[in-house]
Amino acid sequence: MANKRESTSPVTGVKTANEAKLEDLKTQSGDDVAISDMQAETEQPGEADIKTFMEIVQQLEDELCSIVVGQERVIRELLLALFSGGHVLLEGVPGLGKTLLVRTLSEVLELKFARIQFTPDLMPADIVGTTIVTDQSDHNTAGSRRIFSFQPGPIFANIVLADEVNRATPKTQSALLEGMQEHTVSVGDATRPLPRPFFVLATQNPLEMEGTYPLPEAQLDRFLLKVLVQFPKAKDLMRIIDTTVGLQTIQAKQVASGEQLMHLIETARAVPVATHVKEYAVRLLLATHPDQEDAPESVRKYVRYGASPRGLQALIMTSKVRALLEGRYNVSLEDLQYVAFPSLRHRIILNFDGLADGVTPEDLIEAIIEETSTS
Amino acid sequence: MVTNAPSRHSAIAHDDTDGERFIETLYPWRRRLWIQQLLNWTENGVIIGIICVCFLLLISRFIPWANVSYWAFGIAIVFLLCAIGAALRYRPSFARSAHVIDTQLALHDRLSTAWELRDNSAPISVLQRRDALGQLSKHTPATTISLRPGRIRLLSFGIAAIVLVWLLLIPNPMNAVLQQQAVFQARLNRQIAAINQARAVIYNQTAISAQERAVIDKILRDALAHLQQSSSEEQAQQILAQAQSKLNQLRDPQASQKAQARANASSALQNSSNANLSNAGKALATGDNKVLDSSLQNLASQLNNMTPAQRAQLAQQIERAANEAQNNPQLSSALHQLAKAVADGKSGEVSDATKTLESAAAQDSANQATSDSIDQASQFLQNAANALASSTDSSNGQNSSQSQTPGQGQNPGQTKASGQGQGISGQNNTNNSSGKNEQVFVPGQVGSGTSNISVDGSTGTVQSGKPVPYSQVIAQYSQMAHDAINNSNIPPDLKNLIQDYFNSLEGRQ
């Protein structure tokens, strides 16, 4: 697939309206990236930025918790990924509020939201868009002519809910790959940038359920976090009854814009990380590899492949956000231990023995945290 | 909707005083941690030192260790000094102090990060330092870092101290062994001094040649060197027995026969009616060569005035003496020659014969002197062995006296040995003691001649003879057997058989 940034249609030589918008976006986005890179070297977030960050995050968390009941940890992990600029894979049985959570998030953030319901017959073009033939009026001839125009798919949104992503075939699942990593979509011979911010929040059903296709490791690795949605407790179920089945339904209010969100992401990136914390993160990551000397015995026995360097980036980035969420200006070892579970659980590939013995990645991460030296 | 306020980082970006204030704040914490480390390490040094002392004292209860106290004390001091020295040398750094305080106060790495970024002027780093200082200001070093020893350390110290006191108070069974060793060493030193004196005596004897003196002296010197390294009585006895065996190898195997023959010959000559011949016999018996020379000269001058019958009678008497001395071939030959010369009455032959006889007598005297020196040296060694054995007997008697009648062998007594060890009719003293200290004795029969060993204890009992340690006896018998085998006509295969037998006896001792 060509990766040229060609804005003119090769067939008609005329830009479509959508393409023109996308071109503007692309140009603006490219300039923004260059500027923001320069600013990253010169500008540092100040006390007010940090305060703003904490306020927004607190409001966001409160709004989400008021709508989605009994999933505080899920919401916290979702926010970690959101302010880290990463994608999230939500896993849980149907009916736990995964879709509600994502929809609510888009509402409180004033972002363009698109939902894709993945089914076995869903095609990649249904996600990324396709080129269609349309009639266009020609002012010179006062007639019309047929041109090819690109019809963007639902992936061209700020928040994309890939609902039940593992119900589609691997071919369709892979349509998300480029967008998730490069924030661009290549269709035909043109590469089109995705709007910023861009988040993919995918939900998936447990793999044991019928009619599911496991996500490829390459795609799993592109999700910053994998969040497990647990069944609510009894008291949370009572609250669900009160808030959802009554006459009054709670409406989420908008908390921040996409631009603010981008700024908050930059703010979180500035949180300092001490050397010993970085070293601990590296030790944690290396301990997931069975061929490493410091790996626990259970990892050696049950793990086929350990986490990639993306896992390390996920550990550090989400730890920075968690530190700010906890009211600190530095990353601690406890932050790393907290985020290790959602950051690494989908990056640890079990071998046959691990699958046969019913070992879960969580068990292994727990063993890794327990056996990895903190100093 | 909350909007971002303008950044105020310019107001705090160059706040360098925060870093200095952070270091100043951390100083008292670090000092307190250092004191805590000093106390902890000192306590650890004391505990480890006491444990090592206990270990050494425990070992000394199984292995005799004379100066274990000095070692134990030294090791305890070394551990203590090492612990204090290490605590002083490796005082906690600021980074380590920050990490420890983070852990103790659950500050979530605030201080560690602030210390690492103390020179960073980025606004968020300044905020981080202020946050760390703010958290730290809620606590004080005195309340956070306790100098009291931990419960586990106190418990360890208590247990170690109790074990140490127990080991110090309960008598050490190895002390008796050490006392015995000390007593043995003292006795050994006395005997070594006695043998040294014997060396001097023998070395100053002029009757024997310098070469023979050197050989005897070397044997005694070697024995002394080995004795000084011996650690047990059995070993000492073995060394003494081996030295005696070496001395015995220096003896002329026919010495006793020759001496007997000489005595018989001198006796026969003394029975002569001729005064000169009788005087010569006496001189031969006493080994006085001058008197022998003058007597023979007188006899030679007397011959000129004698009748052939008188000369023949005199020759017969000399011939009889020669026959009596047949076990001493040289003397016998000289006497035969003298008898023939006397019978012939030729003054030249008589002169030659008297010279030959004087030479044989002188040679005999020299041999006798050598033999006497060897006997003397051997006797010194035997006395030393007896002294060691008698002391062991007395000490064994002391050990076993608890179950014996009082008054039997509780004092070492005085050992007086005379003669050359022949015919010691010592009783078989098995010394009822059993176990590792049991020593087997056999009735001694060492060397030749007569001996009389009496032991005078405090109770006044007198024993006839003295038992000799088995190890000493077997060594002597082995040497005697070796000599006898080599000097006899036993076939070679039987020689090996007999040697194997004695080797097997040595292996079982």
Six-digit token string for A218: 């390459």
Percent over 90 (pLDDT), chain B = 9
* Cβ contact, residue pair B112, A274, below 8 Å: yes
* Cβ contact, residue pair B109, A44, below 8 Å: no
Six-digit token string for A81: 């990924």
pLDDT per position as a tens digit, B58-108: 998 888 888 888 888 898 899 889 988 988 888 888 888 999 999 888 888
Task: For residue B210, count other CB atoms closer than 10 A to its CB.
Answer: 9
- With H, G, I as helix, E, B as strand and everything else as coil, classify residue A138: strand
Measure CB to CB from residue A329 to each of B10, B99, B128 and give the nearest one: B128
Measure CB to CB from residue A50 to each of B13, B110, B127 and give the nearest one: B127
Which CATH class for the A271-375 domain? mainly alpha
Residue that is written with structure tokens 């500035």 in the block: A270
pLDDT band at B202 (very low <50, low <70, confident <90, very high): confident
Measure CB to CB from residue A330 to each of B3, B12, B110 and give the nearest one: B110
**Is the predicted pLDDT of residue A30 greater than 80, yes or no?**
no
Based on the domain organization, do B13 and B100 belong to the same domain? yes
Residues A88 and A225: beta-carbon distance below 8 Å = yes
Based on the domain organization, do B227 and B250 belong to the same domain? yes
Q: How far is A52 from chain B (nearest CA, A)?
A: 6
pLDDT per position as a tens digit, B174-186: 888 888 888 888 8
pLDDT band at B468 (very low <50, low <70, confident <90, very high): low
In the stretch 46-85 of chain A, residues with CB closer than 8 A to chain B read: 46-52, 55-56, 59
Name the domain count of chain B. 3
Which residue of chain A comes nearest to B122, CA vs CA?
A44
Q: Is A261 on the interface with B (CB under 8 A)?
A: no
Measure CB to CB from residue A44 to each of B116, B123, B131 and give the nearest one: B123
Q: Which residues of A touch B122 (CB under 8 A)?
A: 44, 270, 272
Range of the domain at B272: 181-388
Q: For residues A51 and B4, give the distance between their C-alpha atoms in angstroms, rounded to a whole number.
A: 9
Based on the domain organization, do B21 and B136 belong to the same domain? yes
Residues A205 and A93: beta-carbon distance below 8 Å = yes
Q: For residues A319 and B81, give the distance between their C-alpha atoms in angstroms, rounded to a whole number.
A: 45
Whether residue B396 is contained in a domain is answered as no
Q: Which residues of A touch B109 (CB under 8 A)?
A: 274, 276-277, 330-333
Q: How far is A37 from chain B (nearest CA, A)?
A: 17
Q: Which residues of A touch B7 (CB under 8 A)?
A: 43-46, 48-49
Residues A307 and A288: beta-carbon distance below 8 Å = yes
* Cβ contact, residue pair A256, B1, below 8 Å: yes
Q: How far is B80 from chain A (nearest CA, A)?
A: 28
pLDDT per position as a tens digit, A260-311: 888 889 888 989 899 999 999 999 999 999 998 889 999 999 999 999 999 9
Q: ω before A296 within 30° of 0 (cis)?
A: no
pLDDT per position as a tens digit, B208-264: 778 888 888 888 888 888 888 887 778 888 888 888 888 888 777 777 778 788 888
* Cβ contact, residue pair B108, A276, below 8 Å: no
Identify each DSSP E strand in A220-308 by its residue range: 223-228, 303-305
Element (H, E) at A203: strand A199-204
* Cβ contact, residue pair B114, A330, below 8 Å: yes
Please provide the average confidence, as pLDDT, over all residues in chain B. 76
Which of these three, B363, B388, B413, is where a domain ends? B388
Which of these three, B388, B405, B436, is where a domain ends? B388
In the stretch 306-335 of chain A, residues with CB closer than 8 A to chain B read: 326, 328-335
pLDDT per position as a tens digit, B309-353: 888 888 888 888 888 888 888 888 888 888 888 888 777 888 888
Q: Which residues of A touch B120 (CB under 8 A)?
A: 272
Whether residue B399 is contained in a domain is answered as no
Residues A297 and A207: beta-carbon distance below 8 Å = no
Which residue ranges make up each domain of chain A?
24-126+154-270, 271-375
**Predicted-complex ipTM score:** 0.76
Q: Which residues of A touch B6 (CB under 8 A)?
A: 48
The phi, psi pair for A145, rounded to 5°, reads: -140, 160
In the stretch 271-300 of chain A, residues with CB closer than 8 A to chain B read: 271-277
* Cβ contact, residue pair A332, B108, below 8 Å: yes
**Is the predicted pLDDT of residue B287 greater than 90, yes or no?**
no
Q: Which residues of B370-380 are buried (b: 16+ CB within 10 A; e: fewer)?
A: bbebbbbbbbb
Q: How far is A198 from chain B (nearest CA, A)?
A: 21
Based on the domain organization, do B55 and B110 belong to the same domain? yes
Six-digit token string for A282: 């590296």
Q: Rounded to whole angstroms, what are the CA distances from B432 to A124, B397, B400, B441, B472?
A: 107, 9, 8, 12, 20
Q: For residues A355 and B26, give the distance between their C-alpha atoms in angstroms, rounded to a whole number.
A: 51
* Cβ contact, residue pair B120, A49, below 8 Å: no
Q: Which residues of B touch A334 (CB under 8 A)?
A: 108
Based on the domain organization, do B147 and B206 belong to the same domain? no
Which of these three, B388, B414, B444, is where a domain ends? B388
Six-digit token string for A72: 């505080």
Measure CB to CB from residue A59 to each of B2, B117, B124 and give the nearest one: B2
Measure CB to CB from residue B7 to each of A48, A329, A335 and give the nearest one: A48
Whether residue B302 is contained in a domain is answered as yes
* Pairing between β-strand B467-469 and β-strand B441-443 as defined by DSSP bridges: antiparallel
Mutation for B interface: A42, A329, A331, A339, most B CBs within 10 A:
A329
Instruction: Name all contacts of B128-134 with Cβ < 8 Å and 24+ positions apart.
Output: B128/A272, B128/A328, B128/A329, B128/A330, B129/B18, B129/B19, B129/B22, B130/B18, B131/A328, B131/A329, B131/A330, B132/A330, B132/B22, B132/B107, B133/B18, B133/B21, B133/B22, B133/B25
Note the pLDDT of residue B469. 65
Please provide the average confidence, as pLDDT, over all residues in chain A. 82
Q: For residues B152 and B157, give the distance between their C-alpha atoms in angstroms, rounded to a whole number.
A: 9
**Between residues B458 and B81, the one the model is more confident about:** B81
Q: Is B114 on the interface with A (CB under 8 A)?
A: yes
Helix axes B233-250, B347-400, angle to 10 degrees: 170
B386 contacts: CB under 8 Å, gap ≥ 6: B415, B417, B453, B466, B468
Based on the domain organization, do B199 and B224 belong to the same domain? yes
* Cβ contact, residue pair B108, A277, below 8 Å: no
DSSP B469: E
Whether residue B110 is contained in a domain is answered as yes
Residues B269-293, mean pLDDT to the nearest whole number: 83
Based on the domain organization, do B80 and B149 belong to the same domain? yes
pLDDT band at A313 (very low <50, low <70, confident <90, very high): very high
* Cβ contact, residue pair A254, B125, below 8 Å: no
Could you name the CATH architecture of A24-126+154-270? Answer: 3-Layer(aba) Sandwich (3.40)
Whether residue B311 is contained in a domain is answered as yes
Based on the domain organization, do B143 and B221 belong to the same domain? no
Q: Which residues of A touch B10 (CB under 8 A)?
A: 46
**Between residues A157 and B507, the one the model is more confident about:** A157
Residues B414 and B458: beta-carbon distance below 8 Å = no
Note the pLDDT of residue B435. 38
Residues B332 and B326: beta-carbon distance below 8 Å = yes
Percent over 90 (pLDDT), chain A = 32
Q: How far is A208 from chain B (nearest CA, A)?
A: 39
Measure CB to CB from residue A45 to each of B108, B124, B131 and give the nearest one: B124
pLDDT band at A224 (very low <50, low <70, confident <90, very high): very high
Beta carbon pairs, A and B, within 8 Å: 104
Amino acid at A232: P
Measure CB to CB from residue A270 to each of B10, B113, B124 and give the nearest one: B124
Based on the domain organization, do B194 and B293 belong to the same domain? yes
Based on the domain organization, do B107 and B203 belong to the same domain? no
Note the pLDDT of residue B506. 63
Q: Is B443 on the interface with A (CB under 8 A)?
A: no
pLDDT per position as a tens digit, B389-437: 765 555 554 444 333 333 333 333 333 333 333 333 333 343 443 334 4
Q: For residues B194 and B191, give the distance between their C-alpha atoms in angstroms, rounded to a whole number.
A: 5
Which residue of chain B comes nearest to A253, CA vs CA?
B1
* Cβ contact, residue pair A44, B110, below 8 Å: no
Rg (alpha carbons) of chain B, rounded to whole number: 45
Note the pLDDT of residue A336. 94
Mutation for A interface: B101, B124, B125, most A CBs within 10 A:
B124
Residues A98-113, mean pLDDT to the nearest whole number: 85
Whether residue B395 is contained in a domain is answered as no
Whether residue B425 is contained in a domain is answered as no
**Between residues B3 and A329, the one the model is more confident about:** A329
Q: Is B8 on the interface with A (CB under 8 A)?
A: yes
Residues A49-53, mean pLDDT to the nearest whole number: 84
Q: Which residues of A touch B110 (CB under 8 A)?
A: 328, 330, 332
Six-digit token string for B54: 């206990």
Six-digit token string for A176: 């998300």
Whether residue B52 is contained in a domain is answered as yes
Which residue of chain A comes nearest to B11, CA vs CA?
A46
**Is the predicted pLDDT of residue A223 greater than 60, yes or no?**
yes
Residues B129-150, mean pLDDT to the nearest whole number: 88
pLDDT per position as a tens digit, B437-451: 444 555 444 444 434
pTM of the model: 0.59
Note the pLDDT of residue B415. 37
Based on the domain organization, do B135 and B250 belong to the same domain? no
Mutation for B interface: A47, A273, A279, most B CBs within 10 A:
A47
Note the pLDDT of residue A206. 74
Q: In what order do the strands lie in the sheet with A199-204?
A: A113-117, A159-163, A199-204, A87-91, A223-228
Which residue of chain A comes nearest to B117, CA vs CA?
A274
Based on the domain organization, do B90 and B187 belong to the same domain? no
Amino acid at A115: R
Q: For residues B420 and B375, give the distance between their C-alpha atoms in angstroms, rounded to a whole number.
A: 7
